[in-house]
Amino acid sequence: MCPAYHELVSLSPDDNWRAFTVLDGEGGNEYRRRRLPSYKAHRARGVGTGADTRVVDVLRQCNVPVVRVDGYEADDVVATLIEQVLQKGYRVVIASPGKDFKQLISDDVQLVMPIPEIGRWSFYTLRHYVAQYKCDPTADLSLRCFMGDEADGVPGIQHLVPGFGRKTAVKLLQKHGSIENLLNTAAVRTVGKDYAQDALIKHADYLRKNYEVLSLKRDVNVQFDDNWLSTRNTSNDTNVLADFILKFNGEGRS
């Protein structure tokens, strides 16, 4: 999280921006794990680790508000708060390596994330998304239901139907808009080639489960606080972040 904040600071063209940080709450991913036991099964449960505490300490030293809602993952809190922030007339930049946030991209919401092709963090906008995936971000969630998310332990449909790849999924979603519309249509008439049609009928529940797990919640009980956007004392940023990054990189090599 602090590396993400550091990148956001370095990429900001001026000081006319405000930031707050959202962290996972206690037991934030339990409801998804109950639905899909493999979900983030390789990650430690709960919060409060030494690394987590250090991150919070650094953010507070930089006078960055920290938001955490028990029972919810940070992604869900961000998705909920974005709608509130947009209603106030602001534009939003999310600094995170998480692919989940691509489903939130719009003209007013962009990401700062690692871009493998250029070997560094950079802005990722609606234009970048359309160029990469040949579809609108509103279809991102449906597309990921087919493709899965290996990093989060969400398997795609390819291991069940090897011939069902991204190209097939994009083509079907371009025509039907969302995975729910696609599944409902496939239940009453043919929507594609035999292998795709059979997959949509046979694995409809599987795909709907992926949708439930990968979909970001927008109804978390959290309210945006205008004080989070108050002018921040940034005098500590350079030294505190430099010290943290130095220690972070040192621990990574040890």
- Indicate whether 104 and 24 sit together in one domain: yes
| Domain count of the fold of the chain | 2
152: its two tokens: 């989060």
Domain CATH for 201:
1.10.150.20
Taking only the tens place, the pLDDT of each residue in 65-97 is 999 999 999 999 999 999 999 999 999 999 999
For 89: left if phi > 0, alpha if psi spans -120 to 50, otherwise beta; the answer is left
Contact at 8 Å (CB) between 136 and 128? no
Domain CATH for 100:
3.40.50.1010
* Strand blocks (E) in 74-218: 92-95, 109-115, 120-124
For residue 208, tell me if it sits in a domain.
yes
Average of per-residue pLDDT values in the chain: 87
pLDDT-based confidence at 9, cuts 50/70/90?
Answer: low
- Indicate whether 110 and 20 sit together in one domain: yes
- Indicate whether 171 and 89 sit together in one domain: no
pLDDT at residue number 1: 46
In sequence order, the 6+-apart residues with CB closer than 8 A to the CB of 211 are 141, 142, 145, 179, 180
Residues 175-185: what's their mean pLDDT?
Answer: 95
What does the DSSP 8-state code read for residue 94? Answer: E
User: What's the CA gap between 239 and 1, in Å, rounded?
Assistant: 17
Domain that holds residue 94: 2-133
User: What's the CA gap between 53 and 1, in Å, rounded?
Assistant: 12
In sequence order, the 6+-apart residues with CB closer than 8 A to the CB of 35 are 209, 212, 213
Residues 123-131: what's their mean pLDDT?
Answer: 94
Contact at 8 Å (CB) between 80 and 218? yes
Contact at 8 Å (CB) between 72 and 22? no
Contact at 8 Å (CB) between 69 and 24? no
Query: CB neighbours (10 Å) of residue 139?
Result: 21
- Indicate whether 27 and 62 sit together in one domain: yes
User: What's the CA gap between 101 and 79, in Å, rounded?
Assistant: 8
Which residue did the predictor score with more confidence, 70 or 231?
A: 70
For residue 219, tell me if it sits in a domain.
no
Largest CA-CA distance found in the chain, in angstroms, rounded? 63
Least confident of 24-28, 103-107, 115-119: 115-119
- Indicate whether 108 and 126 sit together in one domain: yes
- Indicate whether 120 and 196 sit together in one domain: no
Q: Which long-range contacts (CB under 8 A, 24 or more apart) does 195-198 make?
A: 195/161, 195/163, 195/164, 196/164, 196/168, 196/172, 198/161
pLDDT at residue number 65: 92
For residue 246, tell me if it sits in a domain.
no
84: its two tokens: 């509130």
